[in-house]
Structure 1
């Protein structure tokens, strides 16, 4: 099955949530494209005839693009899907669809805007999701609000990862490879034969890469390094009375370091003391004058805004961050009759994340001084556990296909964070020494520590009524009740549990909120003929509220809600040699959660401190878009695909009471224009069944913002990936086959800044007692370049 952007029926997707559908391919007309079929409610449904926009990347496409983890989708393989690390760290990925992209879902009391699912199980945190992918059947990107089907936190859509289940027949694959940057990988996938109704599948995987940017400090790991390991075991049991039970256990460990943050320029806004200028103004402020002096550039610091530094200018202490995930899933299906199946999905998962990253030198932190401390060492720990239970009934009654269910989710998560300075400037500013206090007691001063308990209850139902062979109406609704309790244990090294007077002076109050939502969905689908299908859809979704642990008062914020209106048209033309799918949508988001950096007085010390609070925008955020997907089989063995996404976003200005300014905010990592194209050619290699496969893809993204407060843009990007494989070479008469692959990601070594931070090139925030802006800490923009060209060779034997 080729990578495609297709459309699902709403009823099919509901069943897919409970039990991921098995995608199959029906026979196509001679020389035409295969029809993609999903088996979701024990009915085969053509994706071309059903009205939900979705992109599917199957196992073969994952191999072609050498996608080892979700981070590899950050090049824009699916234009509507955006994947980026949180700041420079890959421990927690930012996932966005159709302009719903949260900047900071790293906090325990804050939720993501796109639901991430593994085998139908919702993941409450975005931590640990960059682990190595197991033997994946496919990755599905459901676009647009999925509030009726998936529930809360799916405003932009859902990303569903579906693993291969045990087949019950003996077989498997052994794979190994190596590449540049010291990379190597191994995989073992074994299917055991069925025994008394039981079938077992075991997957083990390792992935390793040396640092991209070298750390000059001896014995310290560099930047862009990873070391991933994972193990998954799955058992399927089938009975004679229509019961199928799938149980799986998985554990993964991901050791990684951030991308290097390098100084891109020096005083790019021309800041000087005197009258404030438009260029040298921090957003949300209204300076009268600028005071101070721009920092002199230390001789040891290099400026490079054109290419990735392969050796850092300043060596710093650093060790890998470690993410460990584990969990089990039990999916029980009972085929009661030919028209009814009952399902139960029970899951428990746990994430432990320890963050130890020092992603830059003096230019990375807001403040440095000669003979003073610098180089912000970001230390953080997060512990999360979750339990979920879902029941579904999937059936047919006459002309009605229906799904009904109940859902329960329980999560406990806690974190702490510290940011000590790991280095000290020498008096001449040309060299540095290690701040030994970081090693003796790195968490001597805790910036923040919090703990959150969340519970979610939901009841949902959805039905598709077929008025005629070509007219279908789908109506659904979901009622959700969310309960969230949270406490801020520490802030700026003050223990709020003990120092209640300081906590009260800072206006602190624990989080204790309950939200109720009903999310409806209506879709009208009409088949113009057997090859052309259209639909009109109204859908809703919402993201739960929370509180910001980066504020002294643990400032709470409300949920945000989205309404979506969508029109879609799909067609198979010229004897199914050309497939064109088009979707256009309008989304209005109410109470958008936006982050505001500002100054707050710390009652414990009386000093002004930087905080990050989350506000709800009073006016509606507008998101508009068009998506086009084209697949053509232009010749025997040659297939071309292309996808394009146009996304317009606008958040109305928000009034900031501390400064009396109306401030403009932006949606991050959302290009106005994005596109992806690929070409695949297959030709027999000899007469023994071997096949030569050629693949190339190109992925374009217009420049975007990386921070919702700054208009500063990242660079546009155009990245090419390629692969050549000789597959299915017979090794023995017993069916063993060899595949040898040569691959390259970013094969033209395109270099672009995917994250540009202007916070060190603008004046500091004014305090409440003055409207002057200090430029004493102005140095320049710092940022992160994408990964350089990687390449390698893999070999696998299937048996």
Structure 2
């Protein structure tokens, strides 16, 4: 195949990306040079230094910007198709909140104060909150998925793994790229990225701008509010990014980054799986249609800055300092019951900010690699929601009824870490690392009933004026601290240049937390712990035309945090208790293969299998006060037993440029959406995708036609269940007095056409 200077893509594919393409190392337009085709070396930063994917004893997937562009991947959630045993979904009532699970470990509830189970990072900056973490891919170099606990180098809240979003570094040349996309549902996207040397070889500026619009997949069929946008599952997002890079000397690099995202997409309405018993609204005909009595507007605003200084002390030693500050504000409307009555409406506000500092030192010796650092995090996560139960209030003679919950969870975390990889011989090496973390958390919770219909702010609906002052009392005001030591030990055996075996033990923890829905004083839940064992192989065969990476893993998940819903005679009480309820375990395998069948044809496959169960779930009988085990009613949520991906990538050379044809099939086995007595189960389903991408001979133009979910599969990615099953097969109504069993669904079939030009 041809190779172009400045070309947008060269068929780069990581081994771990289950259906991605790899570049072919070939002669550059010189027919006199014959080079056998081989898979490209993939560089990653899983251990906070640049290494080959095949040399890193970490189970991971890496997708480059070119690979994602050639498949029309627009969101970080689409990466789940290429990473075994991984779930990345948009959460229930919004487009921008992420639900992330890896190997059965994650966190589903996005309420303020709860900690993640999978860490999200932008250029090594930790993103603490799930709101706004469904990132649109703008000016990205690659996305890395690290599976298994990453507690040594990445710290707390990576007990399932970590997702790393790595932006492009500047080349120092003047560049400008414009890309436009049109598609079904009136999709209209425009992206503009570029860079310019302000001072040659010294100071560069880079930028990225994006505006992404799309009509809804469905609509809100009824709404009591006037002048509401009826689009459901629509998209209205703008994003911008500015970078400055200053090469102060050959040894000192300074960089500054600013980014801002504003998502004005409507709140997502859920699909009623049962007819309402309080309204005459039937189950909608389409899964993307809904009913609501709330405003349909929704807003997510994110803004962040970061500063990085890299200092090369010698050929072997370097220092790096990273500072970051991020703020997010998200007022949202979630209609739990999805009817035109105010049965169970939840308007809410999320308001978060964080600051981090990290100093890191890397030392590379003849036989060793050493990385160490100090880390500090200071974050505040606040919020408020109103559970509006107006119909219930009116049934007992009140003008309305609202349970208001608000509060803040302030967290400070300090850590020190170090990891050493040492070559004992040409074949044997060992890795040893540890991290010590100290967490401090303060929480305040307000919770109580208001005998009226209230909203978080004045003007939430036309003409609404919120009463002055605090409406509900403080029920919890407490603080707690924890400290954790998380080690990693590993042994690697390099059988030859193309074959490595590794085994490792690693530990991670998820921070303790207070119950943000507390109805009174209660102790904080202690941290969760995960112990993980891995045995793996990374290999290349057939003169580097076949790449096979396989990992066996086993993990023990202890002190799992869980919200238990307590029985109450008062249907208006959100009576919930947070505690450490028990433990679970998981065993599985992850395998990824890439085969360069011919210089033009790439075949790939990936497979993930996991056997995960709760071992023990201890609760207290409210009648006897005695503990009992209810693990038989619990399942690991958002975790299919197996996933696989099959794909092919074919390059066609022509007189007008190269055409790259991609086809893939991704399958997820059935999974439940809730841990305890889940009434929502998604049966196994498969998604077929196809793309054709063209690159011009001069390397300036490119175009892509992308078809996703070719067979228009309907699959559930979230939901709410506020009903109780009866012995006769029916359901007893839950909070609000209605049959609230709601599903949210993934995207239907979409077709889009992208055209790009690079100056």
- Give me the TM-score of the superposition, normalised by structure 2: 0.86
1:488-533: per-residue Cα shift (whole Å, max 9, x none)?
13433499x9899x76xxxx44231110011110110001112111
Say whether 1:52 aligns with 2:21.
no
Residue in structure 2 matched with residue 382 of structure 1 by the alignment:
350
Q: Name the CA shift for 1:778/1:361 in 2 (closer, same or farther; >3 Å).
A: closer
1:798 aligns to what? 758
In the alignment, what sits opposite 1:240?
249
Aligned to 1:274: none
How many residues are treated as equivalent by the alignment?
702
Distance 1:53 1:254, change over 3 A: same
CA distance 1:682–1:484, shift in 2 (3 Å): same
Return the match for 2:97 from 87, 92, 96.
92
Is this contact kept in 1: 2:91–2:718, CA < 8 A? no
The CA deviation at 1:109 is 1.9
> CA shift at 1:774, angstroms?
7.7
Give the Cα separation in 2 of the matches to 1:265 and 1:499. Answer: 34
Determine whether 1:623 maps to 2:586: yes
The superposition leaves residues 664-718 of structure 1 with CA deviations (integer Å, 9 ceiling, x where unpaired) of: 32221111111122211112121x6x21011122111111111111243222221
Partners of 1:359 and 1:182 in 2: CA distance: 28
| Structure-1 residue corresponding to 2:321 | 344
1:677, 1:61 → 2: CA distance?
A: 15
For 1:138-166, what per-residue CA distance to the aligned partner results, in whole angstroms no more than 9, with x for missing partners? 11001100111111101011100001122
Deviates more, 1:33-42 or 1:625-634: 33-42
Q: Report the 3-state secondary structure (helix = DSSP H, G, I; strand = E; otherwise coil) of the residue aligned with 1:63.
A: helix
Residue in 2 that maps onto 1:368: none
For the 8 Å contact 1:91–1:353, the answer to whether it is kept is no
Distance across 2 between alignment mates of 1:420 and 1:499: 14
> Any idea what the Cα deviations from partners look like across 1:624-680, whole Å, max 9, x if unmatched?
111010111112211111111111211123323326664232221111111122211
| Alpha-carbon shift at residue 215 of structure 1 (Å) | 2.1
Tell me how far apart the structure 2 counterparts of residues 220 and 797 of structure 1 sit (CA, whole Å). Answer: 38
Give the equivalent residue in structure 1 for 2:458: none
Distance 1:541 1:386 in 2: 22
Once the two structures are superposed, the pairs formed by residues 500-579 of structure 1 within 5 Å of their partners are: 508-553=475-520, 555=522, 556-579=524-547
2:83 pairs, out of 42, 56, 78, with: 78
Q: Quickly say closer, same or farther: Cα 1:202–1:790, change in 2 above 3 A.
A: same
Q: 1:768 maps to which residue?
A: none
Structure 1 residues 426, 684: closer, same or farther in 2, change over 3 A?
farther
Aligned to 2:228: 220
Q: Give 1:309 shift.
A: 3.7
The CA distance in 1 between the partners of 2:578 and 2:517, in whole Å, is 9
Q: Is the 8 A contact 1:234 1:246 kept in 2?
A: yes
Q: Deviations over 1:296-318 (max 9, x none)?
A: 585431365xxx34544x46443
CA distance in 2, matches of 1:42, 1:780: 46
CA drift at 1:554: 5.5
Match of 2:668 in 1: 701
Check the 8 A contact 2:310/2:320 in 1, yes or no. Answer: yes
Mapped to 1, the partners of 2:526 and 2:102 lie a distance apart of 21
1:679 paired residue among 631, 648, 671: 648
Is the 2:194–2:206 Cα contact (8 Å) retained in structure 1? yes
Q: 1:401 aligned to 356, 369, 380, which one?
A: 369
Match of 2:7 in 1: none
Q: CA deviation at 1:756?
A: 5.3
C-alpha distance in structure 1 between counterparts of 2:270 and 2:571, whole Å: 29
Give the unaligned 5+ runs of structure 1: 8-22, 267-294, 364-372, 428-436, 439-443, 731-735, 765-771
Unaligned runs of 5+ in 2: 1-10, 28-34, 452-466
Contact 1:699 1:718 (8 Å CA) reproduced: yes
Q: Paired residue for 1:720, among 688, 696, 703?
A: 688
1:591 maps to what in 2? 559
Name the residue aligned to 2:312.
Answer: 335
Q: How much is the aligned-residue C-alpha RMSD, in angstroms?
A: 3.2
Cα drift, residue 332 of structure 1 = 0.6
The whole-number CA distance in structure 2 between the counterparts of 1:215 and 1:755 is: 18
User: SS at the partner of 1:760?
Assistant: strand
8 Å contact kept, 1:762–1:778: no
Given that 2:662 and 2:692 are in contact with CA atoms closer than 8 Å, whether structure 1 keeps it comes out as yes
After superposition, the Cα gap between the structure-2 partners of 1:719 and 1:422, relative to the gap in structure 1 and judged at 3 Å, is: farther
| CA spacing shift, 1:780–1:188, aligned 2, 3 Å | closer
Q: Tell me the distance in 2 between the aligned counterparts of 1:774 and 1:244.
A: 62
Alpha carbons 2:342, 2:391 under 8 Å: kept: yes
Q: Name the CA distance, whole Å, in 2 between partners of 1:300 and 1:499.
A: 33
Tell me: CA distance 1:692–1:659, structure 2 relative to 1, closer, same or farther (3 Å). farther
Q: CA deviation at 1:740?
A: 1.6
Distance 2:49 2:737 in 1: 64
Q: Which residue of 2 aligns with 1:147?
A: 151
Q: How do 1:462-473 residues align onto structure 2 when only pairs under 5 Å count?
A: 462-473=419-430
Q: Which residues of 2 match residues 606-685 of structure 1 at below 5 A?
A: 609-618=573-582, 620-651=583-614, 652-658=616-622, 662-663=629-630, 664-685=633-654
Normalising to structure 1: TM-score of the pair? 0.82
Question: How far is 1:82 from its partner?
Answer: 0.6
